[in-house]
Amino acid sequence: HKCASQRYCIPSETSEKIAVKLCRLELNAKNKDRWSREIQIMKKLKHLNVVTAKDVPEEMMHIALNDLPLLAMEYCSKGDLRKLLSKPENCCGLKESEVLALLNDVGSGIQYLHENKIIHRDLKPENIVLQDISGKLVHKIIDLGYAKDLDQGSLCTSFVGTLQYLAPELFEGKSYTVTVDYWSFGTMIFECCCGFRPFLHNLQPVQWYVKVRNKGPKDIMAVEDMNGEVRFSTHLPYPNNMSRTLLEPLEGLLQLMLKWDPVQRGGGLNPDTKQPQCFALLDQILNMKVVHILNMTTTQVHSFLLSPDEGLHSLQQRIETETKIELLNQELLQETGVMLDPRKPAAQCVLDGVRGWDSYIVYLFDKSLTKYSGPLTARTLPESVNFIVRETKTQLPLSTLKKVWGEAVSYICGLREDYSRLFQGQRAAMLSLLRYNTNLTRYKNMMFSFSQQLKAKLDFFKSSIQYDLEKYSDQMQYGISSEKMLKAWQENEEKAAAFVAEIGHLDEEIMALHSEIVELQRSPYARRQGDVMEQERAIELYRQLKAKYPQHGYSDSSEMVKVIVQTVQNQDRVLRDLYAHLSKILLSKQKIIDLFPKIERTLESIKEADSTVMQMQIKRQREFWHLLKIACVSLMNSCSAFNPSKVHTHSSEHTHTHCEHTPFYAAVPGEQLEVRCLAQGHLSCGIADLRLEPTTLGLGVKLSNR
């Protein structure tokens, strides 16, 4: 207000910052009434998106002037919307997430005011303040001093500041309704999308009023061409930061809000809900579930509106249609490197409360490729920027140059954001690789653990085999021989060695991959490159141009074109480096993927080998006992050739006779086979417990009788 100033203080009780508004000029009766009305209105409103009135601290009461009350409000530390729009990087509009946040917050605040029978009538960027609440930027409507029943006859003289956002009927002195706020809100939305007001933004309201009043019902923009002719459009102009999926419904919303006829403006009420059609459409836009996919093979962003309960398979089919990447070759990664879960709906790509393609994106990779060829094209130059690049030395009016250079700044900032998104995609690929590497390490450890267990069994079996082979060789000439058994033992020893060799080879491959991954992590290209987009230089040139006087002067664009060309060249270089590094990441990942089946086969082989070793050990023991049975039978046959009475007449000390120096399986001379009857009885009992099955193992054993 012209009559008010603002201060803030920190009350000691709560340590909460508040803003205090006071009048510092003499006021006439009308303005005193207006001031009192604003305080009354503010005190009864309670809504997140309308600034809240606070109690005035006692220590602040003394600053009141002219016996007028003070107005204390919550202090919003992030400035107003005008401050945000005035940033050079926002010359061509805010980011999509910021526009959607504005739609949500200001739309909700306006509906609340209207439900409480309050018409704001002075909605503009200066009257939208920003507050940080738990890390989220929230928009709040302020300055309700013109609300309700401001005298229409003195509107233009009473208003202080811009009149560019006022509805046309307020200039005509006609009666008005809540639809005046629709016009102001629509004008703000357009400006936030594109960076300038929709209707002849360079002209004063009285001038554009005459030229725009005959616009079509769906026209949302009017510009004056080089010949001074006014051209209307039903679409949002490029450049802007809106995704393709959002453009059409957003244009539909603006067509409702920017109708010239106040009766038709807003689309009337929904017959069922009694909600204005424009706010019903606004709710639809805010409830849209849109997934944004960055195709890493082309650098293009694709946006898909999800239907309720749409499955991931359905989404992937649509992705295949649009990108030509076959469904089976699609790999969709979140920023964390985690793949989307095919069992879950496609809505897993959309985070609750997060809107806008600049806030959250899913990265698409083609699994059939480990190298993305390029060249990767930069974003399209706006037509006006392309003109100054071609006609660098052409002198243009400063007013025209400001618009063109603003678009150039926006373009350069956009290139930087493009690089940041692609770098994040590279990082997602790296995180995915590390996840694969973690699984590889787990498999390797499992393989190592199982192989160590197998090795221990193999070592035991091998030492047993070697001992058996040695003893077998010692007795072959005078005892038992079996070529088939000997060959089986030797083959088992060779199998054991082959398992150890295969595991060693896989371990070498895994260790080499681990080294590759460490090198990829250490690479300078694994880190975000410095500011090579010349953004700060472009912003500085733009500020210098805005400060130039007189405003009707002329200038060329040589300095700005240098910055544009340098930025494009730098981007081309960093993208080549980024994609070269990405290709190495994808190649390492493919190597790991190729290793998994080998490791799984090896693990299966280890399990089979473990089982085989146990079977071989059992078989070896069976063979051993089979040989023992044969030897015992031979021994019994030899014993039966002697006279039993002779056996019984031996002295008692013969009871302890044994043949520890003679192999149990050798053909023993008759005189050494004399044993006590008790010993023979024990042996007979032992043999009786064994079932002679000489053909069971197929050993082809033969006895040497000499």
For residue range 589-627, what is the model confidence (pLDDT) as tens digits? 998 898 888 888 888 878 887 887 788 788 778 877 877
122 catalytic per annotation:
yes
Ranked by mean pLDDT, which of 277-291, 656-670, 677-691 comes out on top?
Answer: 277-291
Q: What does residue 581 show for φ and ψ, rounded to 5 degrees?
A: -70, -40
Integer-rounded Cα radius of gyration of the chain: 44
**Pair 568, 673 in one domain:** no
Answer whether residue 379 is part of any domain.
no
For the sheet containing 53-54, what is the strand order? Answer: 4-9, 18-23, 71-74, 53-54
CB 63 within 8 A of CB 82: no
Check whether residue 143 and residue 50 sit in a common domain: no
Tokens representing 694 are: 């000489």
pLDDT at position 27: 62
Instruction: Establish if 667 belongs to a structural domain.
Output: yes
Q: What is the CATH number of the domain that holds 159?
A: 1.10.510.10
| Mean pLDDT of the region 79-94 | 92
Element (H, E) at 435: helix 398-475
Q: Kindly state whether residues 358 and 451 are assigned to the same domain.
A: no
| 231 has a pLDDT exceeding 80 | yes
How would residue 202 be classed by pLDDT, with cut points 50, 70 and 90?
confident
What confidence score (pLDDT) does residue 615 get?
83
- % the chain with pLDDT above 90: 34
Same domain, 116 and 225: yes
What separation in angstroms does the CA of 324 have from each of 364, 365, 369, 462, 671? 12, 12, 13, 57, 93
CA atoms within 13 Å, Cβ hemisphere of 438: 8
Among residues 563, 597, 627, the one where a domain terminates is 627
Average pLDDT of 671-686?
39
Cα 359 from chain centre: 10
The two three-digit tokens of residue 170, written as one number: 């307020």
375 within domain boundaries: no
| Mean of all residue pLDDT scores within the chain | 80
Tell me whether residue 559 is exposed, middle or buried, using C-beta atoms within 10 angstroms of its C-beta: 0 to 12, 13 to 18, 19 or more.
middle
> Looking at residue 320, which CATH number applies to its domain?
3.10.20.90
CA 32 to chain centre: 55
Residue 266 has pLDDT above 90, yes or no: yes
Task: Give the pLDDT mean for 305-334.
Answer: 94
User: If you ran DSSP here, which 8-state letter would residue 269 be given?
Assistant: B
The answer to whether 534 and 567 have CB atoms below 8 angstroms apart is yes
> Residue 67 carries which DSSP code?
T
> How far, in Å, CA of 149 to CA of 146, rounded?
8
Q: Are residues 413 and 483 in the same domain?
A: yes
- Cβ-in-10-Å burial (0-12, 13-18, 19+) of 670 comes to exposed
Structural domain includes residue 640: yes
Looking at the structure, do residues 40 and 98 belong to the same domain, yes or no?
A: no
Contacts within 8 Å (CB) and 24+ apart, 430-435: 430/337, 430/520, 430/521, 430/526, 430/585, 431/336, 431/337, 432/331, 432/333, 432/337, 432/338, 432/339, 432/589, 433/337, 433/517, 433/520, 433/585, 433/588, 433/589, 433/592, 434/337, 434/517, 435/337, 435/338
> What is the per-residue pLDDT for 248?
94
pLDDT digits (tens, 9 = 90+) for 461-501: 778 877 877 777 776 665 555 677 667 767 766 776 776 77
Spatial separation of the C-alpha atoms in residues 426 and 580, rounded to whole Å: 10
Residue with tokens 């069992």: 343
> For residues 395 and 463, what is the distance between their CA atoms, to the nearest angstrom?
94
CATH code, domain carrying 443? 1.20.1270.250
Same domain? For 660 and 687 the reply is yes
Give pLDDT, residue 654. 45
Give yes or no for a contact between 363 and 296, defined as CB atoms under 8 angstroms apart: yes
**415-470 per-position pLDDT tens digit:** 889 989 999 999 999 999 999 989 988 888 888 888 788 778 878 877 887 787 77
Residue 207 shares a structural domain with residue 244: yes
Q: Is 637 found in the same domain as 621?
A: no
Q: Per-residue pLDDT for 150 more than 60?
A: no
Give me the sign of the Cα torsion angle 146, 150, 155, 158.
negative
Residue after which a domain boundary falls, among 316, 339, 369 = 369
How far is 610 from 605, CA to CA, in rounded Å? 8
Between 375 and 614, whose confidence is greater? 614
Catalytic residue among 122, 143, 358, 366: 122
By DSSP bridging, strand 362-366 and strand 290-295 are parallel
Phi, psi dihedrals of residue 612, rounded to the nearest 5° = -65, -40
- Report the DSSP pairing between strands 18-23 and 362-366: unpaired
CATH number at residue 68: 3.30.200.20
In a domain, 380, yes or no: no
The confidence score (pLDDT) of residue 666 equals 40
CB distance 450 to 602 below 8 Å: no
Domain count, the chain: 5
274 & 296 share domain: no
Residue 536 has pLDDT above 50, yes or no: yes
pLDDT of residue 306: 93
- Which has the higher per-residue pLDDT, 167 or 68? 167
Neighbours of 266 (CB within 10 A): 24
DSSP state of 63: G
Evaluate if residue 212 carries a pLDDT over 60: yes
**pLDDT at residue 296 is higher than 50:** yes
This prediction's pTM: 0.79
Q: What would the two tokens of residue 9 be?
A: 């203080």
Q: Cis bond leading into 597, ω under 30°?
A: no
- What's the rounded mean pLDDT across residues 118-122? 88
- In this structure, the answer to whether residues 449 and 531 fall within a common structural domain is yes
| pLDDT surpasses 60 at 704 | no
Instruction: Let me know if residue 472 belongs to a domain.
Output: yes
* Beta-strand pair 18-23/396-397: unpaired
Asked if residue 690 lies in contact with residue 622, where contact means CB atoms within 8 angstroms, the answer is no
DSSP H stretches of helix in 298-396? 312-323, 383-390
Nearest-10 Cα torsion for 557, 562, 564, 569:
160
Task: Give the pLDDT score at 190.
Answer: 97
- Report pLDDT for 667: 39
Query: Would you state the pLDDT for residue 263?
Result: 93
For the ranges 152-156, 174-178, 190-194, 585-589, which has the lowest average pLDDT?
Answer: 152-156
Residue 343, pLDDT above cutoff 80: yes
d(Cα 424, Cα 417) in Å, to the nearest integer? 10
**Is residue 268's pLDDT more than 80?**
yes
Least confident of 6-10, 481-485, 557-561: 6-10
| Long-range Cβ pairs for the range 681-690 (8 Å, 24+) | 683/632, 683/635, 683/636, 684/636, 686/632, 687/629, 687/632, 687/633, 687/636, 690/625, 690/628, 690/629, 690/632
Q: Which residue segment(s) compose the domain that 21 sits in?
A: 1-75
The alpha helices in 174-311, defined as continuous H runs, are 179-194, 205-212, 244-257, 277-287
Domain boundary among 55, 75, 95: 75
| Rounded CA separation 328/366 (Å) | 9
Same domain for 270 and 332, yes or no, is no
Structure tokens at 293: 């996919």
Is residue 354 one of the residues assigned to a domain? yes
Rounded CA gap, 655 and 673, in Å? 12
Ranking 3-17, 145-159, 289-303, 524-538 by mean pLDDT, the lowest is 145-159
Question: How far apart (Å, rounded) are the C-alpha atoms in residues 669 and 374?
Answer: 90
Q: What is the pLDDT of residue 161?
A: 47
DSSP 287: H
pLDDT at 55 over 60: yes
Looking at the domain assignment, is residue 378 inside a domain?
Answer: no
For residue 599, what pLDDT is reported?
Answer: 84
Is 243:97 a contact under the CB 8 Å cutoff? no
